[in-house]
A = this chain, B = another copy of it.
Amino acid sequence: MLRLTKKADYGLMALKYLAEHPDSVSVSAKDIADTYGIPPQLLAKVLQRLTKVGLLRSHAGMNGGYELSRAARSISAFEVIHAIDGPLFITSCTKGSKSCELEPSCTIKEPLARVNESIAGVLKSISIHDMAEDESTSGRVTEQPLVMLTGS
Are A92 and B4 in touch, CB under 8 angstroms?
Answer: yes
B149 contacts A108, CB within 8 Å?
no
| With A36-B105, A105-B37, A108-B9: A117-B148 Cβ-Cβ less than 8 Å | yes
**Known interface pairs A111-B130, A126-B111; A1-B5 also in contact (CB < 8 Å):** yes
Copies of this protein chain in the complex: 2
Given the interface pairs A2-B90, A3-B90, the reply to whether A119 lies near B122 with Cβ below 8 Å is yes
Is the beta-carbon distance between B134 and A110 smaller than 8 angstroms? yes
- A12 CA to B53 CA in the complex, in Å? 35
Q: Would you give the shortest CB distance from A47 to chain B, in whole angstroms?
A: 16
Given contacts A2-B119, A16-B107, A92-B9, A152 and B53 within 8 Å (CB-CB): yes
Instruction: Give the distance to chain B from A20, nearest Cβ to Cβ, in Å.
Output: 9
Interface string of A71-83 (1 = CB under 8 A from B): 0000011110111
Contacts of A8 in B (CB 8 A): 1
Q: Does A66 contact B (CB under 8 A)?
A: no
Closest chain B CB from A61 CB (angstroms): 27
14 contacts between A and B (CB under 8 A): A1-B5, A1-B85, A1-B88, A2-B90, A2-B119, A4-B92, A36-B106, A83-B151, A83-B152, A110-B142, A113-B146, A116-B146, A117-B148, A122-B122
Having A36-B106, A78-B148, one finds 10 other A-B pairs with CB under 8 Å, namely A1-B8, A1-B85, A2-B119, A3-B88, A3-B89, A3-B92, A79-B151, A110-B142, A111-B130, A118-B119
